[in-house]
Chain A
Amino acid sequence: MAGGLPALATLILLVAAVAPLSSAVRPVSDAHRSTSAELFAASPDGSFGDLERTYEAVRTFQILGVEKDKSLTCKLAATKLAPLSSSPAKDLFHAVRISGVLRCGVDSSVYDDVAARLKAVIKETDSLLELYYSVGGLLSVKEQGHDIVLPDSDSTFHAIKALSQSDGRWRYDTNSAESSTFAAGLALEALAGVVSLAGADVDPSMIGVVKNDIVKLFDTIKSYDDGAFYFDEKHVDATEYKGPITTSASVVRGVTSFANVASGKLNIPGEKILGLAKFFLGIGLPGSAKDCFNQIESLSFLENNRAFIPLVLSLPSKVFSLTSKDQLKVEVTTVFGSAAPPLRVNLVQVLGSDSKVISTENKELQFDLDSNVHYLDISPLKIDVGKYSLVFEISLQEPEHETIYATGGRNTETIFVTGLIKVGKAEIGISDNDAETESVQKIDLHKDTSVFLSANHLQKLRLSFQLSTPLGNTFKPHQVFLKLKHESKVEHLFVVPVKARQFKIVLDFLGLVEKFYYLSGKYDLELAVGDAAMENSFLGALGHLELDLPEAPEKAPRPPAQAVDPFSEFGPKKEISHIFRSPEKRPPKELSLAFTCLTLLPSVGFLIGLVRLGVNLKNFPSLPAPAAFASLFHAGIGAVLLLYVLFWVKLDLFTTLKYLSFLGVFLIFVGHRALSYLSSTSTKQKTA
């Protein structure tokens, strides 16, 4: 262990520099099994959707150990593999893998034909997807017991490698310009397949180059704050976007497959492998079939791989009760919940809320072999009730395991500590304004009390008490309410403030008279104290208060109408009193009529004045045609004015404008004729 400690210390320092937040991962469990059974629904013909979905379903069930009837699915795969089916490489790929997972027992002649077809595809194509499907299909055929050797494996290797980019990603074929992380995963899996199928050993320098590509690919990894690592595409194309789960799953498949066939270790940090495991476990129960398949298959590849096997730390329960003296229990397992190699778990730090350090004692947890649980008694740590972050440190006991397993060094978990809160020194009483005369009663808030108080609006109600935790500290709960309920069911809530160690509230009724809607009578007193960390949150009755308030003045607000039955959903609701704008005060009708007549007076005066001036119609044209035009002109003006009156009374603007346009055209024409005649006569008069 001596050799391991300095390396471990540096690892811890590195990891502590990026101290992750608490993770909430649990290993794969029965919940995943039932979820997968729900998500993958079988059709009557034995498939689960298209061929790819069928493969995903059977593979997920295989990993999780779910038994399903396989005969129909095997038949479906067989039809795809039949020699005359002319299925493309993609279908052959999925069908062969389905047969392999379900152990369908396919004829060797069928497989010979399939292998020949796939080898032909490999020879002709340079597209990554085609190479992937064909190599994968051949690999699966070989794993089912048939001897396959890939001729010219070096050129296939080169063909796949040629599509790689400098940042570790891969292109899909020579024509496409975009590189993709998902494609990188496919390419690595295909390369691993080529190495397995090769007759002679593949050039080790090429393997070394691919290992470098993997390192570069891992440089593009992204991470969340809680220590989960994942892969995502650099360019998001809306039609082709696969999402981080699918992309990360593809990379995990590729990297673990390649690590299993390549000699020597891959130069990727174990922290990233552990981060990928945390990412997939952090999904929880997946929501879609594809996510379920990607999650389960990636975790199964991570469970047993030659790069690093991730070990996750999880807590079976996050709530510890001081009353029942719960022990802190921690599990360190593989992603599927299998036992970890021998290791030590130490609790190094306890942080309170706002990251306040409570304790930095390094305590080793003891290991129970039967239940595979590390446990610790936390009462010596003197932790009070509340929410805490615990920092654990995992150290492997065998030094050679450090190259096999990834533990992530430090892990942070959030726990909740609950306990019984003692309520003490409770006093309630009525005091007069001058605070000289006080009558307080001591009450016990642990059980319902029944004090009887009476007060008028000049007095004050005082209530005070202290809350203390099991360790004797003052406790500030989330909710401390005093409720006063009138016999007419009108309620009032008051928050009880805390000062120093005491909770104290003083209700000055003089200021509260309006809030209480001037309702005198009997009020029920209730005290509610509650918090998540409190095991004995309570709503207790304190007693009754006979309150005498003055009479309500006329304009006092009425109390809101109480619901007929607060729990009935369909009963009459509280009546809403709308506030309407008070209508404007209008003058009396006689006054308005008088002023209307008064307004018409000036027009009368105008007419009288015209008569006085000696207005005549001498200039009206005498000849019939101009006379007609002149009279039509006056008629037209009159018509327009009549139209305006109609507009005011009942027409709208659009009809008015329509009629006005007709009248206007008519008027212009007529008026022009009339006035030009008049002007011509007047010029004749001037010149004559």
Chain B
Amino acid sequence: MPKATSDAKLLIQSLGKAYAATPTNLKIIDLYMVFAVATALIQVVYMGVVGSFPFNSFLSGILSCIGTAVLAVCLRIQVNKDNKEFKDLPPERAFADFVLCNLVLHLVIMNFLG
């Protein structure tokens, strides 16, 4: 129905405008997340084409992307100034956690990669 599509268009436009207002560092984190998820999707497509052998490599690749995306989400939550819960947490501390968790994740990934 024409009203629905125009409503959807209006919705997306307002979303885009609101998003432009977010601080730059949050936008960086969002971009990082998009990059990670895109890499994961490409790997899934590849597995769909050639089959899941060797399965451990596929899993480690997917989990590295998804894991780092999840950690980025956590960082975003903690760094976001609008978030009342983490008001007292310095963003540098959150970033240090992000880095440390990523390093541990990638150690496990490398081990599982085979």
Contact = CB atoms under 8 A, between A and B. Distances in A.
Interface of A: 584-587, 591-592, 595, 598-599, 601-603, 605-606, 609-610, 613-615, 637, 640-641, 644, 647-648, 653, 656, 660, 664, 671-672, 675-676, 678-679, 682-683
Contact of B39 (A584, A603, A641, A679): A603
Interface string B35-51: 11011001101100111
Given A644-B107, A648-B110, A653-B111, A602 B42 contact: yes
Contacts of A640: 103
B24 A613 contact: yes
B92 interface: yes
Contact of A605 (B24, B38, B113): B38
A640 B105 CA distance: 12
B113 A641 contact: no
Given A653-B111, A679-B92, A609 B31 contact: yes
Given A602-B39, A606-B31, A644-B110, A637 B92 contact: no
Contact of A602 (B38, B51, B91, B96): B38
Contact of A671 (B36, B46, B91, B99): B99
A598 B42 contact: yes
B93 interface: yes
Contacts of A660: 107
A675 B95 contact: yes
B92 A606 contact: no
A613 B27 contact: yes
22 contacts: A584-B53, A585-B51, A586-B50, A587-B49, A587-B50, A598-B46, A599-B43, A599-B46, A602-B34, A602-B36, A605-B35, A605-B38, A606-B31, A606-B34, A613-B27, A637-B103, A644-B110, A648-B113, A653-B111, A671-B96, A679-B91, A683-B90
B96 to A, nearest CB: 6
Contacts of B49: 587, 591, 595
A602 B42 CA distance: 9
A584 B95 CA distance: 43
Nearest to A646: B110
Interface residues of B, number: 31
Contacts of A656: 107
Given A584-B53, A591-B50, A644 B106 contact: yes
A599 B39 contact: yes
Contacts of A602: 34-36, 38-39, 42
Contacts of A644: 106-107, 110
Contacts of A601: 42
B11 interface: no
Contact of B90 (A637, A641, A679): A679
Contacts of B46: 595, 598-599
Nearest to B32: A606
A605 B113 CA distance: 25
A660 B108 CA distance: 13
B28 interface: yes
A612 B6 CA distance: 29
Nearest to A647: B110
Nearest to B95: A675
A587 B99 CA distance: 35
B39 A675 contact: no
Contacts of B35: 602-603, 605-606, 609
Interface string B67-95: 00000000000000000000000111101
Contact of B31 (A592, A610, A653): A610
